[in-house]
């Protein structure tokens, strides 16, 4: 086991993929000699060279288009989009080309492509560089979507994504870069569509994703220590596919469900979770499903306003106390 932070785990995960399979290539803006805009790909260009690590022009359409073509001809590309928000620039490539090629070719074409993007608020990057788009991406048939919350999951989910025959989008959160964890030295993967129980509990199920997972865990610790409320925390990890079984088993035991989302409320991923539980586990519930979300506004640049729009542990604790 080696202790590493989330930022280092990104480079480690990509490096492991490049070492294990000669078909894997890595491309994106400033990912090579510069070591990445967030220094999350340091060392890869020096180890693997320009034949495996490709610095691209400033064009998200070109990055995804080249990666899609490479995938269809037998490579397994990992493409980086610097900010999740910039997926909007290449939305046609993602939603209409990458997602649909296998279906529209009757299975003759596969697109084993991984698209990584840095997202999330909390660091003062402003409205056009701070969004989390799990809610938008999960609405596109043909794409798998995951969001790691820990260094181990950065590596494990990337390994699973590279091995998958279908396109996978991994959304890495900028605010988690310094989070540290023990990571196995040997190869491993974390299956897509498998949630993780970060804290067990009996009174309430909190479902979170990405940077909201440590928020939910902190809130659960406060609830137990100060209010005697035992909250279970589920890290969803993947929104497409969704681990319905783990969700329903937890709610069957706790009888209450609350989602903790870094999305504006309308059409957030928590709405889909609420729909699933309402349809398949309604009899388990002793109270209505509740959602804690970000404010329905563009992410502010000013630090005090930005922090006021994003759920934190106190927000979650207050919501639980009013709910319980």
Rounded distance between C-alpha atoms, residue 263 and residue 173, angstroms? 13
60 is catalytic: yes
Identify the domain boundary among 183, 209, 244.
183
Are both 234 and 284 inside the same structural domain? yes
Catalytic annotation, pick one of 129, 173, 190, 262: 129
Catalytic annotation, pick one of 12, 29, 60, 306: 60
Domain of residue 141: give its range. Answer: 2-183
Are both 31 and 69 inside the same structural domain? yes
Task: Please tell me whether the peptide bond between 241 and the residue prior to it is cis, using omega within 30 degrees of 0.
Answer: yes
Are both 160 and 16 inside the same structural domain? yes
Token reading at 192: 């897509």
173 is catalytic: no
Are both 66 and 93 inside the same structural domain? yes
CATH of the domain at 230: 3.40.50.920
Are both 22 and 141 inside the same structural domain? yes
Give a yes or no: residue 191 inside a domain. no
- pLDDT by residue for the chain (324 residues), tens digit each? 999 999 999 999 999 999 999 999 999 999 999 999 999 999 999 999 999 999 999 999 999 999 999 999 999 999 999 999 999 999 999 999 999 999 999 999 999 999 999 999 999 999 999 999 999 999 999 999 999 999 999 999 999 999 999 999 999 999 999 999 999 999 999 999 999 999 999 999 999 999 999 999 999 999 999 999 999 999 999 999 999 999 999 999 999 999 999 999 999 999 999 999 999 999 999 999 999 999 999 999 999 999 999 999 999 999 999 986
Q: What is the pTM of this model?
A: 0.96
Are both 172 and 220 inside the same structural domain? no
Q: Give CA separation, 135 vs 210, 261, 269, in Å.
A: 13, 10, 5
Rounded distance between C-alpha atoms, residue 277 and residue 279, angstroms? 5
Identify the domain boundary among 133, 149, 183.
183
CATH of the domain at 26: 3.40.50.970
């Amino acid at each position: 086991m080696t202790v590493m932070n989330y930022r280092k785990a990104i480079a480690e995960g990509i490096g492991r993929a490049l070492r294990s399979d000669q078909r894997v290539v890595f491309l994106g803006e400033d990912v090579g000699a510069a070591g990445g805009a967030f220094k999350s790909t340091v060392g890869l260009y020096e180890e693997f060279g320009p034949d495996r690590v490709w610095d691209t022009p400033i064009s998200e359409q070109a990055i995804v288009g080249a990666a899609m073509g490479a995938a269809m001809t037998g490579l397994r590309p990992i493409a980086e989009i610097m900010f999740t928000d910039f997926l909007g620039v290449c939305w046609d490539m993602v939603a209409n080309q990458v997602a649909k090629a296998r279906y529209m070719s009757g299975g003759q074409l596969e697109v084993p492509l991984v698209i990584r993007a840095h997202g999330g608020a909390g660091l003062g990057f402003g409205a056009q560089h701070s969004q989390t788009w799990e809610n938008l991406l999960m609405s596109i048939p043909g794409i798998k979507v995951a969001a790691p919350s820990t260094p181990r999951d950065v590596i494990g989910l990337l390994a699973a994504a590279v091995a998958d025959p279908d396109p996978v989008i991994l959304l890495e959160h900028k605010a988690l870069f310094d989070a540290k964890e023990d990571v196995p030295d040997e190869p491993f993967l974390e299956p897509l569509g498998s949630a993780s129980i970060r804290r067990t509990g009996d009174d309430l199920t909190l479902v979170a994703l990405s940077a909201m997972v440590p928020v939910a865990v902190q809130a659960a610790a406060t609830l137990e220590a100060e209010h005697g409320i035992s909250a279970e925390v589920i890290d969803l990890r993947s929104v497409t596919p969704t681990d319905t079984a783990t969700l329903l088993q937890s709610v069957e035991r706790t009888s209450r469900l609350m989602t903790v989302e870094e999305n504006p409320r309308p059409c957030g991923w928590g709405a889909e979770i609420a729909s699933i539980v309402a349809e398949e586990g309604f009899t388990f519930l002793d109270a209505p499903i509740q959602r804690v979300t970000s404010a329905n506004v563009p992410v502010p640049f000013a630090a005090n306003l930005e922090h006021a729009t994003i759920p934190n542990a106190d927000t979650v604790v207050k919501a639980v106390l009013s709910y319980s």
